[in-house]
Amino acid sequence: MSQPFIRNHQYNYIKKQVGQLQRAFNTSSDPKVILSLRDEVQAKVLELFPTSREAQQPLLEAISSLQTAEECRSYVNSLEPYVAEMPQVTDNQLKKLFPKVKKLKTPSLEALDFRYVTYMGWTDIASGKMYLAYPHHNQLAGIEGRFTPTNKKGVCFVCSKHEEVALFTAITKSKPANASPDYYKAIGNYICLNSETCNRNITDVAALDKFFHDVLAK
């Protein structure tokens, strides 16, 4: 058995793609349509893993042999043992990410299944702060910012889905060489209020990586 190698966002992407194939099996009677879509889904999934190992190939290439909607469901379920956990973190690690925050309120880590976590996000309503923790370039990093609930649905910059969002605004660490002591630059984005929902939706980490880079780069 291959070691877990599928990251949460990749698992979500595969579920999305295979879900399209599953719906086609249920709704289309044209074998050519299904064959074309199956080939397309297979190609997209393989593109996610350009450096996949020989032991992983049979699992990824099994999409090409799916024949029914039930087989699609079973295939997605069969991937679960291969979903790799986000490196687990402790309360102390989270507190070290935000050393200036006294009495940081951290989320319940025991309740998290780190296989299905791309990033951690939580709010402190009393202070109006939101905190993000994410293994950016394989090193755990944190961003603290203000959050303003919109009380309506919008498109989240992380998962690109239409969900209940808040405006999250963070101060960048970089400053121009001749900047005044009062200079600061803020970056704001709409993000899911519920990070669990966001982690179920996310299929690409490019926007998250860019945000962490833009905020933390000095």
- As a whole number of angstroms, the distance between CA 194 and CA 166 comes to 10
pLDDT for 53 equals 87
pLDDT for 185 equals 86
Q: Show which of 51, 82, 113 is a domain's final residue.
A: 82
Tell me the residue range of the domain where 180 lies: 91-216
Residue 132 belongs to a domain: yes
Is the pTM value of this prediction over 0.95? no
pLDDT for 52 equals 84
> Within 13 Å and on the Cβ side, how many CA atoms surround 34?
18
Q: Show which of 22, 51, 82 is a domain's final residue.
A: 82
- As a whole number of angstroms, the distance between CA 8 and CA 17 comes to 14
Q: What is the CATH number of the domain that holds 46?
A: 1.20.1280.250
Structure tokens at 59: 């699992």
**In sequence order, what are the residues at sequence separation of 6 or more whose Cβ sits closer than 8 angstroms to the Cβ of residue 157?**
189, 190, 191, 207, 211
- As a whole number of angstroms, the distance between CA 2 and CA 61 comes to 14
CA angle 158, 12, 69 (to 5 degrees): 145
Same domain, 101 and 76: no
Residues of the chain with pLDDT under 70: 1
Residue 1 belongs to a domain: no
pLDDT for 1 equals 60
Q: Show which of 54, 82, 110 is a domain's final residue.
A: 82
Q: What total of structural domains would you count in the chain?
A: 2
pLDDT tens for 25-61 read: 999 889 999 999 999 999 999 999 998 888 899 999 9
Residue 3 belongs to a domain: no
pLDDT for 78 equals 97
Residue 2 belongs to a domain: no
Same domain, 68 and 12: yes
